[in-house]
Amino acid sequence: MENIMSINSAKPIPGTNAYWAQRREAFAFINRLEWAIGVRDRAPMYIAGPSYDPEENFDDVVENIGPWQRVYSATICVRGWRQSG
């Protein structure tokens, strides 16, 4: 006899412990994404490089892409959770 894999994709029944656990997890992902968006919106677009001299050398100014990457990573996590949950 063949081993057949099945995937249980039914949503939990509202009011059960599994339902509330899933809701807490979902809101944790959403809160993490909202926090990352807030940080990104307040972050400077450019930052000084390691050898920046404000009087003479303006070539060492770099884009601050860290906050944008964190928002992208959080978005991927939320999308992945929605597809699996």
**CA–CA gap between residue 19 and residue 22 (Å, rounded):** 5
Q: How many residues does the chain have?
A: 85
Tokens of 69: 């990457």
Domain boundaries, the chain: 17-83
Per-residue pLDDT of the chain (85 residues; tens, 9 = 90+): 566 665 656 787 888 898 999 889 889 989 999 999 999 999 999 887 766 566 666 667 788 899 999 999 999 988 877 655 5
Has this prediction a pTM greater than 0.85? no
Which stretch of DSSP H or E encloses residue 72?
A: helix 66-84
d(CA 81, CA 15) in angstroms, rounded, equals 20
